[in-house]
Amino acid sequence: MAATMKDIARRTGLGLATISSYFNGGNVREKNRIKIEEAIEELHYEVNEVARGLKTNATKTVGVVIPELNNVFCAEIISGMEDILRSHGYAAIVCDCRTDKKLEKEAVDFLTRKRVDGIINMPVDMTGAHLNEFQKTGKPIVLIDRMIQGISCDCVLVDNVNAAEKAVGMLVEQQHQKIGLIGGPDEVFTARQRMLGYMKALKDHGIAVDEKLICHGDYTIQGGVQAVEELVKENPDMTAVFVTNYEMTMGAVIGLNEMGVSMPEEISLVGFDNLPFARACRPALTIVSQPTEKIARETAQIMLERLEGREELPDHIVRKLQTDIFMGKSIRRQG
Amino acid sequence: MAATMKDIARRTGLGLATISSYFNGGNVREKNRIKIEEAIEELHYEVNEVARGLKTNATKTVGVVIPELNNVFCAEIISGMEDILRSHGYAAIVCDCRTDKKLEKEAVDFLTRKRVDGIINMPVDMTGAHLNEFQKTGKPIVLIDRMIQGISCDCVLVDNVNAAEKAVGMLVEQQHQKIGLIGGPDEVFTARQRMLGYMKALKDHGIAVDEKLICHGDYTIQGGVQAVEELVKENPDMTAVFVTNYEMTMGAVIGLNEMGVSMPEEISLVGFDNLPFARACRPALTIVSQPTEKIARETAQIMLERLEGREELPDHIVRKLQTDIFMGKSIRRQG
C-alpha cells in the first residue's frame, strides 16, 4: 500500500493541515518541515499527481495532436518540445491522427477528457471544428505550422510563401522556365502558402503559370513518387521541379531514380526539409530547410507562458519564422 | 461549471447510486438509462477521467520511454502502437530520453508519479536499473527491441543475430572478404546481437575477424559519417561494409558521397532499415528490413492483455520476429 498524508501525520504527530500546507508550498516551521521530510523518506511517500490534479485542476499534461508522427518534420518538433515541457514538469500526451479529420476530433475529445492543461496542434485542415469544444474550457491552444480559419489562438508559423518564392526564384535564375510543382493537399495551410509562393515567383519573373505543371500530392512518400512520374510523363519540356515537403521530396527522388531520369542533367530539383537526406542523395539536393528546433522552442515557450498565467501576454501570439536554403548540386543551369 | 453526477441525479430524479451504477457499467433499468443519457446530453456532462482514475486506480495511460523520437525506427513503432492503444481507450505518454541514462531514469520516475498503468520501454542500456522502482508497483512493463539483464518482463525482439548473419553472408557470397562493420554502442543489446551475427557469418565462411574492420558508431547519422570515413581511411583493402541501423546507414552513404568513394564500384554496402531511403539512394541500397508494424502490434497487444488482466498469461512473454532483405544494387561481385 502506498503511504498517504494521514500516515505522514501519524508518523510526525503533526496535524493534517500542516502536512497539506507543506505539500501545497505553504508556510511550515523549519522543525516541522524536517520531520515531514524524514517521514516522506521513511514511508516512501510519493505525491499522487493524479489526486493532486483533481484538487488543483491542473494535470500537468499537455496534449499534442499531429497529423503523422511518422513525418520527420513532426517528429523533430515534438522531440524538441517534449524536452522543454518535461524540464518544466509537464508530460506530453502525443496523438497521431493519421491525417484523418475524424481521428483528429477524437484525439482532441480524448485529451479533453484526460483534462490536459493545454493542446498543441498541427491541424489536418483549416476549418478547426475539432477544437471548438476544447476552446470553451478556456485552456490554451497553440497551433504549429498551420493556421485555422475562425479560431483565434497562438500560433508558430514558418514564412512558407517566402520559402517557396526563394526556391522557385533560384530555378528561374538558372534559366528554368518550365518548372513543375509538387504541392500538398489544397486543404492544408502550408500547401496553399507554398503554392502561393510558387505562383508569385513565376509572376515576378514574367512566367505564365501552367496548370499542367502543377500536381497536388498528399505529403507522403508514395504521393511524391506518383506526382513526379505524372509530371515527367505529361510534360516532356519540363526542366525542373520544386517539391514542397520532405516525404514527397524523398518520393520524387525515388521516382526519378526508378524511371532512370537523371538529376540534374534531365530534371533539376529543389526539395524541402531534412539536411541529412539532402546530403545522402547523389548528387546532394538543394533544399529549403525549416527551423524545426526553433519552432519547437517557441511553441513550448508560448504554451508554458500561458500555463504559468502571466497576465501581460497579448491575446494572441503569432510567430513567423524564416527558412534557409541548403545548396546542393541538384540544379543545372539551363541553355 | 462542469456538470456533476449530482446534477444528473437532480435532473433525472434518480438516486446517486443509480447514476454511479450507470457510469460503472452496472445494471440500470432501460427507463432510467434513457433518462440519464438525456440528462448527460442536456447538461453536457463529461466523465472526468482524472477523478475516475483516482477511484479505479487506473489512469488509462501507458508510458512509452524511448531513446530517440527522432529515430525513424522508434517513430514508426510508436505511431503503430499508439493507434492500437488509443482504440482501446489508452493514451500514450511518450518520453524521449535522448539516449541518456539519467534522463531515462527521470522519465520513468515521472511516469510513475503520473500513475501510468504500464510502461513500454526501448532501454538505453542493458542494466535496467531505471525500471526497478516501477517494477515494484506490480504494473506491467513491456520491452521493445532490447533485453535487460536482471529484469524479467515481457519483450518483443527482432532476431538480430540472424539478420546480421544473412546480411554479411550475402557479401561473402559475392566474394567479399574484407568486410567492414559499422556497429552500435557496445552497451546496447541490438548492437551486441548484430555484432555477434557479423562474427558468426565470417566464422562460418572461414574468414578471420579483423579488429581494424570493426567500428563502433553511436547509432546517429553523424556517427555513421565518421565511422565510414575512418574505415575507408584505415582499410585500403576493404571492399564492403555492413551498417547496423538506419541513421548510421544514412551517415555512411553521406560519408561515401562526400569522400567521392563510389558505391558499389569501390565499396559495396548493406544497410539497415527504411525501404524508402534505400530506394531513394543511387544506386538503391540493399538493406535488412525490420518488421516495425509487427513489432508495434505485438507490443501493444501484450500490454493490453496485461492491462485487461487475463489470468492465463505466462509469467513472461517473449516474441522474436524475423527480418527481411530488400535487394538493391549496392553489392558488387568481387574478383
Concatenated DSSP letters for B167-215? HHHHHHHTT--SEEEEE--TTSHHHHHHHHHHHHHHHHTTPPP-GGGEE
Confidence of residue A48 (pLDDT cuts 50, 70, 90): low
Share of residues in chain A with pLDDT > 90 (%): 62
Check if the beta carbon of residue A108 is closer than 8 Å to that of residue A65.
yes
A68: part of which helix (H) or strand (E)?
none
Q: Is the pLDDT of residue A55 over 70?
A: no
Contact A98 B83 (CB under 8 A): yes
Q: Looking at A146-160, A218-232, A281-295, which range is the least confident one?
A: A146-160
The whole-angstrom distance between residue A166's C-alpha and the CA centroid of its chain comes to 22
Mean pLDDT of B283-288: 97
Angstrom distance (rounded) from CA A11 to CA B61: 33
CB distance from B51 to chain A under 8 Å? yes
Q: Sheet with A268-272: list strands edge to edge.
A: A214-216, A179-183, A240-243, A268-272, A286-289, A324-326
| Count, residues in chain A | 335
Q: Give the best residue of B102, B279, B293 to mutate against chain A (max A CB count within 10 A).
A: B279
- Chain A residues in contact with B98 by the CB 8 A cut-off are 83
Mean pLDDT of A178-204: 96
pLDDT value for A38: 82
Mean pLDDT of B93-103: 86
CB distance from B68 to chain A under 8 Å? yes
Angstrom distance (rounded) from CA B236 to CA B180: 11
- pLDDT tens column, B191-250: 999 999 999 999 999 999 999 999 999 999 999 999 999 999 999 999 999 999 999 999
Q: Which residue from A75, A221, A279 is facing B75, i.e. has the nearest CB?
A: A75
Ramachandran angles phi, psi of B152, nearest 5°: -95, 120
Q: Is the pLDDT of residue A238 over 70?
A: yes
A57: alpha, beta or left? (left if phi > 0; alpha if psi -120 to 50): left
Q: Helix B72-87 to helix A101-113 angle, to the nearest 10 degrees? A: 70
Please state, in angstroms and as integers, the Cα–Cα distance from residue A71 to each residue in A100, A247, A255, following that order.
14, 7, 19
pLDDT value for A121: 96
pLDDT value for A1: 46
Q: Is the pLDDT of residue A51 over 70?
A: no
Mean pLDDT of B171-191: 95
Contact B54 A54 (CB under 8 A): yes
Mean pLDDT of A115-125: 93
Nearest chain B Cα distance for residue A63, angstroms: 9
Mean pLDDT of A279-294: 96
Check if the beta carbon of residue A331 is closer than 8 Å to that of residue A287.
no
Contact B114 A61 (CB under 8 A): yes
pLDDT value for A47: 60
Please state, in angstroms and as integers, the Cα–Cα distance from residue A74 to each residue in A96, A276, A307, A327, following that order.
10, 16, 23, 23
pLDDT value for A123: 93
For A67, nearest residue in chain B (alpha carbons): B79
Contact B61 A251 (CB under 8 A): no
- Residue B61 cell numbers, joined: 495511460
Nearest chain A Cα distance for residue B205, angstroms: 32
Angstrom distance (rounded) from CA B319 to CA A296: 36
With cell 570493426, the residue in question is B214
Average pLDDT, chain B: 90
Check if the beta carbon of residue A84 is closer than 8 Å to that of residue A62.
no
Q: Looking at A61-75, B34-48, B58-72, B210-224, which range is the least confident one?
A: B34-48
How many Cβ pairs within 8 Å bridge chains A and B? 138
Residue among A30, A56, A41 at smallest CA distance from A7: A41
B302 SS3 class: helix
Contact B107 A86 (CB under 8 A): yes
Q: Is the pLDDT of residue B53 over 60?
A: no
- Residue A80 cell numbers, joined: 524538441
For A68, nearest residue in chain B (alpha carbons): B79
Q: A191 CB contacts (<8 Å, ≥6 apart)?
A: A183, A184, A185, A216, A219, A244
Q: Is the pLDDT of residue B1 over 50?
A: no
- Residue B202 cell numbers, joined: 565470417
Confidence of residue B121 (pLDDT cuts 50, 70, 90): very high
Of A107 and A288, more confident: A288
Confidence of residue A13 (pLDDT cuts 50, 70, 90): confident
Angstrom distance (rounded) from CA A296 to CA A311: 23
Angstrom distance (rounded) from CA A173 to CA A204: 12
> Strands B141-144 and A324-326: what pairing?
unpaired
Q: Is the pLDDT of residue A25 over 60?
A: no
Angstrom distance (rounded) from CA A300 to CA B66: 20
Q: Which residue from B115, B253, B257 is facing A49, i.e. has the nearest CB?
A: B115
Residue among B250, B240, B188 at smallest CA distance from B216: B188
pLDDT value for B106: 85
Mean pLDDT of A53-72: 80
Mean pLDDT of A277-302: 96
Confidence of residue B147 (pLDDT cuts 50, 70, 90): confident
pLDDT value for B319: 95
CB distance from A112 to chain B under 8 Å? yes
Please state, in angstroms and as integers, the Cα–Cα distance from residue A33 to each residue in A13, A40, A79, B16, following that order.
12, 10, 38, 41
Ramachandran angles phi, psi of A200, nearest 5°: -60, -45
Residue among A179, A195, A176 at smallest CA distance from A187: A195
- pLDDT tens column, B8-35: 888 888 888 788 777 665 677 888 888 8
Angstrom distance (rounded) from CA A72 to CA A221: 12
Check if the beta carbon of residue A267 is closer than 8 Å to that of residue A241.
yes
Give Rg (Cα) of chain B. 26
Check if the beta carbon of residue B317 is closer than 8 Å to that of residue B302.
yes
- Residue B254 cell numbers, joined: 553521406
For A57, nearest residue in chain B (alpha carbons): B50
| Count, residues in chain B | 335
A199: part of which helix (H) or strand (E)?
helix A189-204
Mean pLDDT of A156-179: 97
Ramachandran angles phi, psi of A272, nearest 5°: -135, 130
> What residues are paired with A155 via a beta bridge?
A143, A318
pLDDT value for B315: 86
Q: Is the pLDDT of residue A81 over 90?
A: yes
pLDDT value for B50: 58
Angstrom distance (rounded) from CA B7 to CA B43: 8
- Residue A44 cell numbers, joined: 516512501
> What residues are paired with B240 via a beta bridge?
B179, B268
Contact B251 A47 (CB under 8 A): no
CB distance from A46 to chain B under 8 Å? yes
Q: Is the pLDDT of residue B54 over 60?
A: no
Q: Is the pLDDT of residue A178 over 80?
A: yes
pLDDT value for B312: 80
Ramachandran angles phi, psi of B127, nearest 5°: -80, -40
Query: What is residue B274's DSSP assignment?
Result: -
Contact A82 B94 (CB under 8 A): yes
Largest CA distance in chain A: 90
